[in-house]
Amino acid sequence: MYKTQTNEKVDNLLDVTELSVFYGKLQAVKNVSFQLPKGEVYAVVGANGAGKTSLIRGIYGIAQYTGSLKFNNVSFTPKTNRFKAGIAHVPQGRAIFGDLTVKENLSIGVLGIKNKTSQLEYLLNLFPILETRLNKQAGMLSGGEQQMLAIARAMMSKPSLLLLDEPGMGLSPKLRMEVYESIKKLLDHADHDMGILLCDQEIGYALRIADQLSVMQKGQFIWTGDTGSVTIEELSAKYMGLKA
Ligand code: ATP
């Protein structure tokens, strides 16, 4: 916990201090620090190769990293099991099982998790399109539906932190907006404290749903602020090369 300038107490879900991520000698993330308070969406935007995926991989413990990671005020080591701790990761490219049905996809990875049925009901309420597709092969769904399925599947374990890597990738603007609206609803409707770390290439969608945003370039955060304090035009003009 820390105090803001207004002395309001903020309960941090994730505290990242001087995180660096390496692939052998290549340093993809360079001393990045930020805090994700409970109940918020934190967006990291940046162009191809900026280091967004590596940041997520470091936090999830699947890439070599240095620095300090605290989750709910508990320090992580590289070996801490993130899934068991309450973190879910939706990697780039959806990662669903195309040959299995929607229902089967949702049942995977929740062995030992209590209240599966109520969580399934809650998620189908949030993503009604999935309810109409339950017995359909996941590979036959549209891109937006597959993305919603990937997010819903990650949510089956009732995580406190959801790591989303470019959830709108490859989707039309309309589908993309639908997916982003669903992401925002996750926080609005969750029955427990949770937060979302969202990585994206485009500022516009991220600005709409995030509370705080950092612009990443060459492994570093070059701008961080509240999303209410800046416009898409200001950010994209300042950081040429990023799409609004
Ligand atoms: P994109 O939006 O294209 O996914 P990104 O912002 O997620 O990009 P990263 O994938 O994190 O960027 O890549 C950051 C840097 O790390 C790049 O220079 C990339 O070439 C390098 N990199 C990423 N993955 C690996 C890997 N497995 N081995 C070696 N280098 C890697």
Is any atom of ligand 1 closer than 6 Å to the C-beta of 23? yes
Atom of ligand 1 nearest to the CA of 46: 6
Is any atom of ligand 1 closer than 6 Å to the C-beta of 101? no
State how far the alpha carbon of 100 is from the alpha carbons of 30, 106, 139, 150, in Å. Answer: 39, 10, 8, 13
Residue 168 structure tokens: 């709108």
Residue 175 structure tokens: 């589908």
**What's the CA gap between 32 and 46, in Å, rounded?**
14
pLDDT at position 5 is 47
Is any atom of ligand 1 closer than 6 Å to the C-beta of 27? no
Is any atom of ligand 1 closer than 6 Å to the C-beta of 32? no
pLDDT at position 111 is 59
pLDDT at position 243 is 58
Task: Please work out, in degrees rounded to the nearest 5, the angle formed at the alpha carbon of residue 64 by the alpha carbons of 162 and 221.
Answer: 60
Atom of ligand 1 nearest to the CA of 24: 29
Residue 161 structure tokens: 């932190």
**Pocket probe mutation, ligand 1, options 23, 56, 59, 198, max atoms within 8 Å of Cβ:** 23
3 state SS of 88: strand
pLDDT at position 231 is 87
Residue 34 structure tokens: 């930020």
pLDDT at position 2 is 42
Is any atom of ligand 1 closer than 6 Å to the C-beta of 243? no
Is any atom of ligand 1 closer than 6 Å to the C-beta of 215? no
Among 66, 68, 12, residue whose Cα is nearest residue 197: 12
pLDDT tens track, the chain, 244 positions: 444 444 455 689 999 999 999 999 999 999 999 999 999 999 999 989 999 999 999 999 999 999 999 999 999 999 999 999 999 999 987 778 999 999 999 988 565 566 667 888 888 988 889 999 999 999 999 888 899 999 999 999 889 999 999 998 888 888 888 889 889 888 887 767 899 999 999 888 899 899 999 999 999 999 999 998 888 888 887 776 665 5
Is any atom of ligand 1 closer than 6 Å to the C-beta of 147? no
Residues with Cβ within 8 Å of 50's Cβ and at least 6 positions away in sequence, in order, are 216, 217, 218, 219
Residue 28 structure tokens: 């993809």
Starting at the edge strand that comes first in sequence, how are the strands of the sheet with 64-71 ordered? 26-37, 12-23, 64-71, 74-75
pTM of the full structure: 0.91
Domains and CATH numbers, the chain: 12-238 (3.40.50.300)
Atom of ligand 1 nearest to the CA of 92: 4
Is any atom of ligand 1 closer than 6 Å to the C-beta of 7? no
| Distance from Cα 23 to the centre of ligand 1, integer Å | 9
Is any atom of ligand 1 closer than 6 Å to the C-beta of 48? yes
**Which ranges in the chain belong to alpha helices (H)?**
52-60, 82-85, 102-107, 116-126, 128-131, 143-155, 173-189, 203-209, 232-238
| Distance from Cα 121 to the centre of ligand 1, integer Å | 37
Nearest CA to ligand 1 atom 29: 23
pLDDT at position 110 is 67
